[in-house]
């Protein structure tokens, strides 16, 4: 396989495993359709996998339909989102995201997902105990009442469509992934 093709495949995956539950950075380029079965060496038939996931595909622990789903998501994502957006999408599907509150500047990091209709920000006011005092280390210690630091906060969460997309992506469910992507595209086009 040409070096330029391998580099393009690795770049497409952000130099990490294409399995959304893995992301290990040691990579192989895997042929989705094997060469002996007529698959080519083009970027469209290659996907970046770590050695462990690559072995699991070959021993059929990871089914080929999951690999095709991951490739579809990479192609869609690389034409619409950044690697950070993909990571944010996966992050919002974790337990940690359930208890995370952000200020307005933190919400901006999720703007691609909000505009796509895959995530939403719920406004929450007066988070925390207003009688508490935080100390911020600057050049000299300074105290701010918590009420001043937490007047406005936002809780980020996936929309129903966002949840459907993440679950389909993680399960390797190409049909449901494509449905979620198509719904997102239709919503974006209607808003134009």
Domain ranges of the chain: 1-79
- What b/e readout covers 119-153, taking b as 16+ CB neighbours within 10 angstroms? bbbeeeeebeeeeeeeeeeeeeeeeeebeeebeeb
pTM score above 0.85: no
* Side-chain-side CA neighbours of residue 114 (13 Å): 12
Per-residue pLDDT of the chain (192 residues; tens, 9 = 90+): 788 888 889 888 888 999 999 878 888 899 998 888 888 888 889 999 999 999 999 999 999 999 999 998 888 777 677 778 888 999 999 999 988 888 888 898 998 888 888 899 998 865 555 555 454 455 555 555 555 554 678 899 999 989 998 998 888 888 888 777 776 555 545 554
Handedness of CA 54, 59, 61, 65 (dihedral sign): positive
Q: What is the dihedral of CA 59, 65, 69, 74, to 10 degrees?
A: 40
């Amino acid at each position: 396989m040409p070096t330029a093709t391998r580099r393009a495949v690795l770049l497409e995956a952000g130099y990490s495993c294409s399995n959304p539950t893995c992301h290990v950075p040691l990579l192989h380029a895997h042929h989705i359709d094997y060469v002996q079965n007529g698959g080519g060496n083009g970027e469209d038939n290659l996907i970046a996998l770590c050695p462990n996931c690559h072995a699991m595909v070959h021993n059929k622990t990871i089914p080929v339909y999951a690999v095709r789903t991951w490739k579809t998501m990479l192609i869609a994502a690389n034409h619409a989102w950044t690697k950070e957006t993909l990571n944010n999408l996966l992050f919002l599907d974790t337990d940690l995201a359930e208890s995370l509150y952000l200020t307005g500047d933190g919400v901006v990091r999720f703007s691609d997902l909000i505009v796509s209709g895959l995530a939403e920000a719920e406004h929450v006011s007066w988070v925390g105990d207003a009688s508490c005092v935080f100390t911020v280390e600057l050049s000299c210690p300074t105290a701010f009442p918590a009420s001043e630091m937490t007047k406005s906060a936002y809780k980020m969460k996936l929309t129903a469509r966002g949840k459907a997309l993440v679950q389909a992506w993680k399960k390797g469910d190409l049909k449901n992934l494509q449905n979620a992507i198509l719904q997102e595209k239709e919503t974006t086009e209607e808003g134009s």
